[in-house]
Chain A
Amino acid sequence: MTLAFDLILCLMIVGTAAAALLTHNALAAIVFFIVFGNLLGLAWLAMNAVNVAMAEIAIGAGITGVLLILTRQRLMALGDDLVSAETPGWLRAGAVLACTGLTALVGSAVLSVAPADDLGGPIAALLPELGIENPVTGVLLAFRAYDTLLETFVLLGALVAVWSLAPGNAWPRPPASLNLAESGGGSVAQAFGRLLLPLALVMAAYLVWAGSDFPGGAFQAGTVLAGGLIIAAIGGAVAWPRADNSILRAVLVLGPGVFLIIGLAGIALGRFLFYPPGFAKAMIVAIEYSLALSIGATLALLLAGRSVAPDHRS
């Protein structure tokens, strides 16, 4: 990529971020944010970080964007018009000063570091041992598997935390339906809902498999699956289950559970999260498929929100 491209991209990134933060209209802010996320994805591509680009576009722009839109809709139904109170001039001036100072400080620190690919070599040397070719998957599922394990529990915990917000009479009913057909629109949504979910499933399955040797992986796949589930819910092809549905709970814990079990089994052979030589790829793929399923369900339910009482209007 040429310097001109990189420069323009960076300017657009900062520009859309500024627009998202400074505009008064909340919906415009969210839209700018989604554009910002996609531009970030381009930036990651320019930096040759394809796995990150996929994750940023799918999760950072896609899921977060949809989340913000749905939240705005819920807030407006409650009469909250999302207008920030005017901040006093002195606070804004002080903030401009402080933040410019911070940017200068961090920027100088950044400039003082020479960019280098220090660990790519050692990682590439160890990849044949694992039997996979995607180094990012290697780092996520092997070298830093402990991090990834903990992070999947953060995701599960976030869903439990959202569930905990349900008011007394709503638990454990399903969340509010997103079905457009109910509110009078959306035959297109219905068609898409039925069509896209199976496609999303196939895509997710492929992404997990490809993730071993090419860019992809459990998180990206799980997000695609979540996207399919959301669109299906909007189209009415899928209804949100109750929170005490056993199958739902089993699907949610499958990923973290399989990861934990494989980790504990590793103890029998020497070490927590130790993969026996020759079986590493099999273990990694097994973990990733389970994770993709759970991540898909968890992200979709995080967007669905908390349980609602039968008389809830949204």
Chain B
Amino acid sequence: MPTLMHLYPLTGAALVGLGLYGIVTLRHPLRQLLAVNVVGAGIFLILGGLGRGTASTDPFPQALVITGIVVAVALTAFGAALVVRVAEEERARDDTAAVEATGDSA
């Protein structure tokens, strides 16, 4: 039976779908990272949002959500560094190709 307290978890479900759409359709890896974070936020809303009693909020899932947030930022930071590194490598490859091309035509 849906209650008012389902509002936030349902928002979470919407975010999960929205984020997944972003991951699939956005081809640039940095945008995909952003979409991944949206999905994560949605999952956290589901986890924490369903742990609410009439007067109190369950601290157990809150702790799990905090752990999840920290893990997410750690992975996002590494992912972002990886994206930059791939872009660097790409540019270095384009640079050498350009140099070789001008060298050939010279």
Residue numbers of A with Cβ under 8 A of B are 3, 6-7, 10, 13-14, 17-18, 20-21, 26, 29-30, 33, 36-37, 40, 43-44, 46-49, 51-52, 55-56, 59-60, 63-64, 67-68, 70-72, 74-75, 78-80, 82-85, 87, 91-92, 95-96, 98-100, 102-103, 106-107, 110-111, 113-120, 123, 135-136, 138-140, 143-144, 147-148, 151, 154-155, 157-158, 161-162, 165, 167, 217, 219, 299, 302-303, 305-306
On chain B, the residues within 8 Å of A116 by CB distance are 50-53, 58
On chain A, the residues within 8 Å of B97 by CB distance are none
Q: Which 10 A-B pairs rank lowest in CB-CB distance, beginning with the nearest? A: A117-B53, A103-B17, A135-B59, A139-B63, A158-B74, A21-B22, A302-B77, A107-B13, A99-B17, A71-B80
With both chains docked as a complex, state the minimum distance between the C-beta of B25 and any C-beta of chain A, in angstroms.
Answer: 5
- Cross-chain contact A99 with B56 (CB below 8 angstroms): no
Whole-angstrom distance between the alpha carbons of A231 and B20 in the complex? 34
Q: Is the interface of A mostly helix, strand, loop or mixed?
A: helix
- Cross-chain contact A151 with B70 (CB below 8 angstroms): yes
Whole-angstrom distance between the alpha carbons of A235 and B25 in the complex? 38
Does B103 interact with chain A (Cβ within 8 Å)? no
A29-B34, A47-B49 in contact; A75/B84 too (CB < 8 A)?
A: yes
Whole-angstrom distance between the alpha carbons of A213 and B52 in the complex? 20
Set A14, A82, A140: member contacting B67, Cβ < 8 A: A140
On chain B, the residues within 8 Å of A20 by CB distance are 34, 38
